[in-house]
Amino acid sequence: MLKLGVNIDHVATVREARYRGRGRGEPDPVAAALLCEAAGCHGITAHLREDRRHIQDRDVVRLRESIRTRLNFEMANAPEIVAIALKLKPAVVCLVPERRQEVTTEGGLDVARHRKALAATRQRMNDAGIEVSLFIAPEIDQVEAAAEVGAQFVELHTGQYAEHFSRKRERNVELRRLVDAATLAHRHGLRVNAGHGLNCENLPVLHIVPHLVELNIGHSIVSRAMAVGLPKAVKEMLALMKGYRD
């Protein structure tokens, strides 16, 4: 069964637009996470960025204490955040690139270039009982490097697929890249997740990609929730995922 991890970062984005620096405010991302769980999602994703632009330290602590599914803690490979992750002990960490000027994570990790540093962090996390995922572009060299680093998961960046979805030729090129990357990752014993830019329109076509374990989706669900409510938005996405067959 293809699993759904709901990224609740942008619930916190709305809160911080009004209550930044105040230690409280609405909407509450933890309450949102509990609604998503009640609607049937299989995990919660939250990205504690170095600049704390949306999710705050208190949020991840409360999430770890409150949710009953697993917490996927997105993070940069930065000493401060690594220390927080080791103390927090989420089920899994997803190492992502992080640039201050970007609106959201816009590309995959260059694992091939940073093997040594990523392998060291992977080892520390595994020693603490935390599984490690690497957020990568669907490129053969990055998959190979992720396997060398010893990660348990890769999360394939679907941003280019989503960006080119309306143009059939470009979309098919991106689908082929995702298929090839997922196939190779599976061959190396890596479990395969995917995410970024996925929505109700482009998700069904993604079913062609083999070996997917979990999709991490945030912005689309939070946006849809403004019209239909969070539980229904989650259930709509889950319904679209039911047809997936590896």
Q: Give me the active site residues, please.
A: 47, 74, 196
Position 136, amino acid:
I
Tokens for 130, please give them: 């935390």
Task: Please report, as a single letter, which amino acid is at residue 33.
Answer: A
Question: What type of residue is 149?
Answer: V
What is each CA distance from 61 to 19, 95, 152, 171, 197, in whole angstroms? 19, 18, 24, 39, 27
C-alpha 152/C-alpha 111 separation (Å) is 14
Cα–Cα distance, 240 to 14 (Å, whole number): 26
Which alpha helices (DSSP H) does 43-158 contain, by range? 57-66, 79-88, 115-127, 140-149
- 3: its two tokens: 């699993």
